[in-house]
Amino acid sequence: MMDSKLVAIVRALPMEELEAVSAALIAGGVTVLEFTIDHDAKDCVKSTCRKIAYIAEKYADKIHVGAGTVLSVAEATEVRAAGASLIISPNTNIEVIHYTKNAGMLSIPGAMSPTECVLAHQAGADYVKLFPAGELGIGYVKALMAPLRHIPFLIVGGITPDNIRDYLKLGVCGFGIGSGLLPAAMVRNKDYAAIQKLAEQYINLVKDS
């Protein structure tokens, strides 16, 4: 599922933009889409479930669809019913990890400290999402991974075409990229060709490394 080493994080996207933006990312080579639960929005879980169900059915043979910012087992249950095959969180919640694995889904909890990373890994996470990597910096990621290289890490936050290969050299397994793949201006201007081109650039960078 993580062969492409890239998860496209789709956050706060209006339903009317869903198909065009998803199609552009997929055309650019993205094979894993994460639709976040935006907890500051009304009916956020239902809204995310609608997006997941639509894209999971339309592109069932092309991509894996995940739910992001999943904070509880109740939320994980709803997005699973909608068709999500990955559960991604900003935090380490042992109950969510156990539910995800028992349901046969891919578990990607978030962690920042060594204690959280080890806890998530020992609980059964398939990957540990190191977040927020951009604020922590590559020096922190390198120091953290030195004793924890047995843990498969995904890096989220602050990833750009200029630094992505530096992180790959550390031995990380992949990346979650949000605004770097979907700049607000491109979405607002409906510049789907530019979104596809940006996706291609990221995919080629990780593919060639």
129 is catalytic: yes
72 contacts 93 by C-beta, under 8 angstroms: yes
Q: How far apart are CA 198 and CA 45, in angstroms?
A: 29
Tokens of 100: 């995800």
34 is catalytic: yes
Q: What amino acid is encoded at 49 in this protein?
A: C
**Of these residues, 34, 51, 75, 78, which one is catalytic?**
34
Q: How many CB atoms lie within 10 A of CB 114?
A: 13
Catalytic residues: 34, 129
